Structure 1
Amino acid sequence: MLFGHHKKSLPTPEEALPGRPERPYTVPARHTVLDNPLLGPYPEGLETADFGLGCFWGAERKFWQTPGVWTTLVGYQGGHTENPTYEEVCSGLTGHTEAVRVVFDPAKVSYEELLKVFWEAHDPTQGFRQGNDVGTQYRSAVYTHSPAQQAAAEASREAYQSVLTASGHGTITTEILPAAPRPFYPAEGYHQQYLDKNPGGYCGIGGTGVACPVGVAKAEG
Structure 2
Amino acid sequence: MDNQNWKIQRINELARQFCRSAVKRCDLERLAKKQGWTVRRGGQEPRVAHRVGYASVPIPGHGKQVIKPGLALTVAGRLYEPFVDQELRKLLLQNLILEKQTLEDQFQRQQQEKEDMEISNYLLQCENANLKADVEASFHLAEDSETLCQKANRMRDRMRRRVINLLFRMRELYWERDESIESLRQIQLELKKRENNTETVIQKLIIFSSLLDAKNQDYLMKIIRDLKETI
Pairwise TM-score range, normalised by the shorter structure: under 0.3
Q: Which has the higher strand share?
A: 1
Greater RCO structure (CA 8 Å; 6+ sep) = 1
